[in-house]
Amino acid sequence: CFCQLSGQIDDCFCDIETLEKFNNEQVFPLVSQLVKRDFFRYYKVNMFKPCNYFDGDIGFCESESCGVKPCSEEDLPVGLRNGNFNKHTPDTEDVECNKPKKSISDINGTLSNVTIDFLDRWDKHDDTVHQFCDIDDESSIELQYIDLIANPERYTGYKGPMAWRIWRAIYEENCFISGGGGTTAEENDGKRLKFSHSDLQGMCLEKRVFYRVISGLHTSINTHLSAKYLFEVIHIQIDGWGERRWEANLAEFQRRFDKDVTKGEGTARLKNLYFIYLLELRALSKAAEYFNRGNVVLFTGRDKEDVKTKEMLTQLLDLTKKFPMHFDEGVMFQDKNSRGLKREFVQRFLNVTRIIDCVTCEKCRLWGKLQTQGLGTALKVLFSAKEMNGKSDSPFQLIRQEVVSLINAFARLSESIKSLEMFRAMIKDTRNNG
């Protein structure tokens, strides 16, 4: 069975049982450990890029769960500290910071030089794609390392109009869909999104793929927050603070995905989760050779740690190649209009990544950035066959940020699929108990 992109609205949807078994039994146990290794644990990111998408007040997430704590130099493995590339032994001296360089990711509402350069090159080599995301200058002082384990993705309380506005901008302005107008004053005021899966009918393949990967990402985020939901104060302790627990919330999951509650939309959204998983899985299997040729140095300065990380990554990449139902990107961008469509596809994806800078919950922004960058990197891999095979004069390259986001983003999807198993078991228990 091959994952066919066939012209059906449910394209690429064959055998869920095989996919879940493959993920839950083989991929998840490996990738969930891999992202705990130092190389993948510390993500370098510019958390404070300006929001150029909305005018005026963009709101503020008041919940303390929204906060993110960046790493200080001492928290980092020695090889990741400023200027320490290639240092193997722990460094006890104070590290002198590099003189800041100008960041190339200055977007200011217009395309960065990198993007323009890339689009120009793409015009010349019509069947090649390089960047779906703005690339940050990794030596810029605007970037900070974040420990992803210390700042896990989970329920933060970011919701309502602030969050809807982001999703609405992503879908209606960038996902090639137009069915946005709500039916109530509140909906028309730009809050809720009114779009159903059946609106995909009649859309061309590439636009449908775009919508489905974004929707799959949305499903994944909402599955995580349902799986790690904040149960507020359980009992007041002596110091006046309540106990906080993050646990699975079945009611929250059902509200979003139960087919009866959502009139079938939830099921379609879950299918989109499998869809984006297959796309990223395919990208990893294609990137395997690039990684295996030693193009990516997994360096943290701790030799044993780095050897183990390399071993696990190789194992994961080998595994991805064994999956029997791969996504077939080869049928995309094949017809006579594909040149313009490709360009639009990249431009819209870049817009989506920039809208994330307007998310006012820091934790959501961090994981939103990481997962969209990971998805952008997967798309770059899928549509850069020529460069990866050395058949183009523009060489293929992945920087550390892209590698870290690619693996972490895939790990998030893998965990989402794994948690569906847990929610199913909870539903069964509830039924059995009455």
d(CA 269, CA 212) in angstroms, rounded, equals 8
- Nearest approach, Cβ of residue 195 and ligand FAD (Å): 6
- Nearest approach, Cβ of residue 351 and ligand FAD (Å): 13
- Nearest approach, Cβ of residue 70 and ligand FAD (Å): 17
Retrieve residue 113's tokens.
């030089």
- Nearest approach, Cβ of residue 285 and ligand FAD (Å): 25
Binding site for ligand FAD (CB under 6 A): 153, 155-156, 158-159, 163-164, 166-167, 192-193, 215, 218-219, 221-222, 225, 269, 356, 359, 363-364, 367-368
Q: Quick one: 59 or 368, whose CB is closer to ligand FAD?
A: 368
- Nearest approach, Cβ of residue 244 and ligand FAD (Å): 14
Q: Quick one: 362 or 387, whose CB is closer to ligand FAD?
A: 362
Retrieve residue 148's tokens.
């992803």
Q: Quick one: 262 or 394, whose CB is closer to ligand FAD?
A: 262
d(CA 49, CA 31) in angstroms, rounded, equals 30
Q: Quick one: 40 or 158, whose CB is closer to ligand FAD?
A: 158
Q: Quick one: 213 or 404, whose CB is closer to ligand FAD?
A: 213
Q: Quick one: 156 or 285, whose CB is closer to ligand FAD?
A: 156
- Nearest approach, Cβ of residue 59 and ligand FAD (Å): 12
Retrieve residue 188's tokens.
């028309």
Q: Quick one: 309 or 360, whose CB is closer to ligand FAD?
A: 360
Q: Which residues contact 432 (CB under 8 A, 6 or more apart)?
A: none
- Nearest approach, Cβ of residue 349 and ligand FAD (Å): 14
